[in-house]
Each structure stands twice: as structure tokens, then as C-alpha cells.
């Protein structure tokens, strides 16, 4: 287990939310209001995969960010240090569908903002197999891929996405690690 530390160095309050993986005891606080010069810590268990941090009330800095455990994120008036800004994809819906077209079995996990339908850490998809995860939050998710060759890693995905994984591409996603 580790911590994600968020410090507000802006001249106004900000709001922050961080999603979770499959650990039932990782709590989700939808939004924390951070006063000026305040630091809060979020406990997170998954040391291998990242998380979506949703930053609000921060002007042009607002939006989704990729963070990992043990990050020290500092939000100032002009920038966010310790987190990677993610460009939103613009999809909407109530599920994320993943199709494996790599030619071999891969392992897929998609984190969550709420208690959703699939709490296993990874789901194995055979070649040409398709599966869906019930996800509907507009802040986005991290999809982790293993056993997918050079496509292994963390990807930002959004509810409503239909993702096709090949040996050289992961469609409708943003690679974040």
C-alpha cells in the first residue's frame, strides 16, 4: 500500500477525486475540497497500475490526470506537478467494450469510481474474444494490459468506448504509461 499526496498551492480551493482498482477496502471519496496550502493523502494498494485523478475548480488545469502510488502532486495557479494531464476522448456511455485481436491471450483490467460489476484484478481475453465492463463515470478510467507484448501498460479510456487491441495498436484510448 502507498499514498498519493495532493497539495493545493493555488489561491483558491480545488476539488479532487481519485478512482480505485479492485481492492474492496480502497475508499472512494467522490470529491475532496482542498483549502489553500492544504495537503491530503489518498491510500491506494495497486503499486503496479495507475489511477485517474479528477481535478476540478482549477480553471484551465481542471480535468483528468494520470497518477501513480507514492506520487506527490502539487497544484499551483499555473501548473500541476507530479501528475500527467490526459486529453479527454469525448465518448459517453454505460460500458467499455474490449476486443482482443492480438492473436494470443491477453489480460485486461479496468479500474472504477464506484463499486462496479467486475472486481477481479485481471480478466483473460482469448484471441478474437470480446468483453464489456459496466462503467459510466465521465471522468474516465485506467485500463491495464498485461501479456499483450509491446502494448502492455496503462491506458486512459472512457465510458462508451469500444476498444480493439492488436499487436501494434490500442484503439480509442490514450497511452499513459
Residue 115's Cβ-count burial label (10 Å; 0-12, 13-18, 19+) is: exposed
Mean pLDDT of 35-57: 86
Question: Which CATH number fits the domain 2-85, given the four candidates 1.10.357, 1.10.3470, 3.30.420, 2.60.40?
Answer: 2.60.40
- State pTM to two decimals: 0.87
Report the pLDDT value the prediction gives residue 28, as an integer from 0 to 100: 55
Q: CA nearest 105: which of 171, 65, 53, 165?
A: 165
pLDDT tens digits for 109-140? 998 886 654 445 789 999 999 999 988 889 99
Mean pLDDT of 97-114: 93
pLDDT tens digits for 51-96? 999 999 899 999 999 999 999 999 999 999 999 999 999 888 999 9
pLDDT bracket for residue 37 (50, 70, 90): confident
Written as one string, the DSSP assignment of the chain is -EEEEEEE-SSS-EEEEE-B-S-TT----S-EEE-TT-EEEEEE--SSS-EEEEEESSGGG-EEEEE-TT-EEEE-SS-EESSEE--------SEEEEEE-SSS-EEEEE-BSS--S--SS-EEE-TT-EEEEE---TT-EEEEEESSGGG-EEEEE-TT-EEEE-SS-B-S-EE--
Topology of the domain comprising 95-175: Immunoglobulin-like (2.60.40)
Report the pLDDT value the prediction gives residue 120, as an integer from 0 to 100: 56
pLDDT tens digits for 4-22? 999 999 888 888 888 887 6
Report the pLDDT value the prediction gives residue 112, as an integer from 0 to 100: 85
Specify the domain boundaries for CATH 2.60.40 within the chain. Answer: 2-85, 95-175
Report the pLDDT value the prediction gives residue 26, as an integer from 0 to 100: 56
Amino acid at each position: 500500500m502507498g499514498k498519493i499526496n495532493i497539495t493545493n498551492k493555488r489561491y483558491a480551493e480545488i476539488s479532487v477525486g481519485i478512482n480505485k482498482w479492485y481492492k474492496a477496502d480502497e475508499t472512494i471519496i467522490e470529491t475532496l475540497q482542498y483549502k489553500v496550502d492544504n495537503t491530503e493523502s489518498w491510500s491506494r494498494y495497486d503499486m503496479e497500475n495507475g489511477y485517474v485523478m479528477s481535478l476540478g475548480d482549477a480553471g484551465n488545469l481542471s480535468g483528468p490526470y494520470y497518477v501513480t502510488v507514492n506520487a506527490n502532486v502539487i497544484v499551483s495557479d499555473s501548473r500541476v506537478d507530479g501528475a500527467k494531464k490526459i486529453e479527454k476522448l469525448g465518448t459517453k456511455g454505460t460500458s467499455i467494450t474490449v476486443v482482443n485481436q492480438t492473436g494470443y491471450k491477453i489480460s485486461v483490467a479496468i479500474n472504477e469510481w464506484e463499486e462496479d460489476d467486475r472486481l477481479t484484478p485481471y480478466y483473460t481475453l482469448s484471441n478474437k474474444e470480446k468483453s464489456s465492463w459496466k462503467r459510466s463515470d465521465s471522468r474516465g478510467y485506467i485500463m491495464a494490459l498485461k501479456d499483450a507484448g509491446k502494448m502492455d501498460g496503462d491506458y486512459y479510456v472512457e465510458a462508451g468506448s469500444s476498444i480493439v487491441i492488436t499487436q501494434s495498436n490500442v484503439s480509442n484510448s490514450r497511452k499513459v504509461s
